[in-house]
Structure 1
Amino acid sequence: MHFIVHCLDHEDALQRRLVNYEAHREYLASAKVQSVISGPLVSDDGQTMIGSCFIFEAGSKEDVVNFNRNDPFTVAGVWQQVSIHGFLMRIDNRDE
């Protein structure tokens, strides 16, 4: 099943985000859950990172919750708010 993870940063999190970025990328690459697509959310200026969005493929929501709990961004206190929801993918135009 697919899951969307929507994360909003603390207002003062940019430096923690930058310091932990490589560890976060390595953690995603080693995932028990598969990252389908992911990237930072940005403010209206199109550059300032304010959060993260992921689509994961996993066996259960619990797998995604546990994976997120150990993400270096979570451990470093980058994210203020995290929402995890099941997602029924109906259309996927990435191969076009």
Structure 2
Amino acid sequence: MLFALMCTDKPDSLQIRLDTRPDHLAFLDSLGDALKFAGPFLGDDGKPCGSMVMVEADSKEAALAIAERDPYAKAGLFSAVEAQAWAWAVKNPEA
């Protein structure tokens, strides 16, 4: 099942994001086929203010466990992380 991991950055934490980005990208790469797509949310100023990571996992708990292993989470970047089941209905490359 697919889960959208929606992560909100803490205020004034852009430097944490920038410093941790290489480790975050390596972590995403390590997810292999479980990672469907990912990218930052942007604030009105055009700067990253959160993340959305679409992962395949067996359960919501498993998806949240993936989020907890993310170097961004370990660095304390996020104020909130939410996992929501998602159905890829349109333009699904696997359909």
Please, what TM-score do these two structures have when normalized by structure 1?
A: 0.87
Q: In structure 1, list runs of 5 or more residues that go unmatched.
A: none
Could you say what the CA RMSD is over the residues aligned between the two structures, in angstroms? 1.9
Work out the percentage of aligned pairs sharing the same amino acid: 31
Aligned match of 1:26: 26
Which residue type is aligned with residue 90 of structure 2?
I
Residues 34 and 57, structure 2, Cα contact 8 Å, conserved in 1: yes
Q: Does 1:62 align with 2:61?
A: yes
Kindly indicate whether the alpha-carbon contact (under 8 Å) linking 1:40 and 1:52 is maintained by their aligned counterparts in 2: yes
What does 1:75-90 correspond to in 2, within 5 Å?
75-90=74-89
Matched-pair contact (CA < 8 Å) for 2:5–2:64: no
Give the TM-score, by structure 2 length.
Answer: 0.88
Q: Which moved more, 1:58-67 or 1:31-40?
A: 31-40
- Contact 2:8 2:50 (8 Å CA) reproduced: yes
